[in-house]
Structure 1
Amino acid sequence: MSDYELTEKDNVFVLTLKLGNNVFNPNLISNIGQALDKVEKSEGPKALVITAEDKFFSNGLDLKYLSKAGSEDTLSFFQSIADLLCRILVFPVITIAAINGHAFGAGAFLALSCDFRIMQNEKGFLCFPEVDLGLPLSDTFRPLVQGKLNNRVAAKAVLTGKRFSAEEALKDGIVDQTTKSADLLPTAFAMAKSLASKGANRSNLTELKKEVYDHTYRGLTGPRSVKPVNFSGIASKF
């Protein structure tokens, strides 16, 4: 069974993550990177939808992996996350996150790195749980909060750890649209198909994204640091 599926139809690629809770670890990062490579190697105007199976879009960081990683591996890991999110941020085709279920922590940031977000409204929440886990926001994720959310919403999301329903996320501008679960992929696909032509000049689209997302892009490409965190203690709570 593959860890992900990448399909293409009518100039739209759909990347489906298939690792259950899809937590961020080196394997997930590698899988997404491989899929992005395939999209980039394609020719002609394209668009990309990122989604997942079952109840999770992504449940955030792999705390079990981090609890065993040394300091150098941890720093390298967070650098790889920043590189991936930055790559998606300025990816040379339009990207749409089709949020099929829970998007917590790094999963929410994966969605924020896309150009547009559509969330199904029948199950699942979007949440930034750092305050409840005792984790810093870190310079791996902070640029996305500052660049994609307004100050009021960022404070609500980060300082309270609120679990946003689809309708609440839409009201606060975190997502662009909500749909019923059965309509999620058709809606995301239709949006992607309508915008695929914007990727005809890929180098120009990337430059436009760098300009539009200037603060976020510079933050994600800046120097990286990781504050000491007892990931073992956090993982033991789950």
Structure 2
Amino acid sequence: MPYLSLTDDAAEVFLGTQGLELDETNPENRFALDWLDAVNVVLDEAVAAKKPIVLTATGKFFSNGLDTDHIAASFAELPGYLDRVHQLYARVLTLPAPTIAAINGHAFGAGAMLALCADHRIMRTERGFWSLPEAALNMPFTRGMAALVRTRIPDATATEAMLTSRRYNADDALRAGIVDQTADEPELIEAARAVARERTGLVNDNQTVIKRGLRLPLLEDLRTPTPPTLL
């Protein structure tokens, strides 16, 4: 389950389980319902710490996105499940602190979009891809997800990523404007902490006010209920 690590520089939210590189119950940090609940609890703790927030994980995956087992078992509930995912995106987009995603491994689908919600993104070199596989999997994007991708990365990149399911390594992602910088694995978290140190004085509720104004149309799209007809 996701957990919080507090340092002098940041509140570090890890998407996996403490002490395990891969948790057998959720090795890819997929968006299971209990995982979504746990992330929100940890975000509460991170906000209470009044520090910049780093979003990261350990092991091979940052997040591999939607819980496909849950979707297969509860397909009729998919619109509500996707709305839960949208709520997480909206929350991360409007946290009252600077947010930094330290993308430690594969970020696919909904996990790739979660990384886009951070104010600043750093991707690990040598291992891991950022990708939106929906086109290859014959899956649509929700209104909120399409708006998130469209507004958080350059239009040419959004078009390529959404229509071709290209896998971007760290260098590709930097050139495409998906991430702001790259770092080798040993320096990844320290690079995120360095950004956090630069932005320590910006932790306050005004961050949320500014972010809401900056991202108002996107937030409205994320709050629009997913229609069953999309599926």
The alignment partner of 1:21 has SS state of coil
Amino acid at match of 1:169: A
Aligned to 2:15: 17
CA distance in 1, matches of 2:178, 2:217: 18
Unaligned runs of 5+ in 1: 230-238
Question: What is the Cα deviation at residue 211 of structure 1?
Answer: 1.9
What SS class does the counterpart of residue 128 from structure 2 fall into? coil
- What's the C-alpha RMSD, in Å, of the aligned pairs? 1.4
The change in CA–CA distance for 1:221 and 1:193 in structure 2 (over 3 A counts) is: same
Alignment match, 1:159: 163
- Give the equivalent residue in structure 2 for 1:51: 56
Looking at structure 2, the residues matched to 135 and 186 of structure 1 have their Cα atoms a distance apart, in angstroms, of 36
Q: Kindly state the Cα deviation for residue 222 of structure 1 after the two structures are TM-superposed.
A: 2.6
Aligned residues with identical type, % of pairs: 35
Would you say how many aligned residue pairs link Structure 1 and Structure 2? 222
CA shift for structure 1 position 147? 1.0
**Residues 1:129 and 1:70: Cα distance change in structure 2 (over 3 Å):** closer
Distance 1:25-1:119 versus aligned 2 partners, 3 A rule = same
Selected match of 1:218 from 208, 217, 220: 220
Shift of 1:80: 0.7
Q: Within 2, Cα distance between the matches of 1:227 and 1:113? A: 26
Counterpart of 2:208? 206
Runs of 4+ off more than 3 Å: 226-229
Structure 1 residues 227 and 185 mapped into 2: Cα distance closer, same or farther (>3 Å)? farther
Q: Name the SS for the 1:137 alignment partner.
A: coil
Q: Give the structure-1-normalised TM-score.
A: 0.89
Report matched runs for 1:3-14 at 5 Å: 3-14=1-12
3-state DSSP of counterpart to 1:7: strand
- Contact 2:79-2:225 within 8 A present in 1 as well: no
Q: Which residue of 2 aligns with 1:234?
A: none
Structure-2 separation of matches of 1:226 and 1:107: 22
Change over 3 Å in CA distance of 1:61–1:193 after alignment to 2:
same
The residue that corresponds to 1:65 in the other structure is 70
Which residue of 100, 121, 125 maps to 1:121? 125
Q: TM-score, normalised by structure 2?
A: 0.91
CA distance in 1, matches of 2:68, 2:229: 15
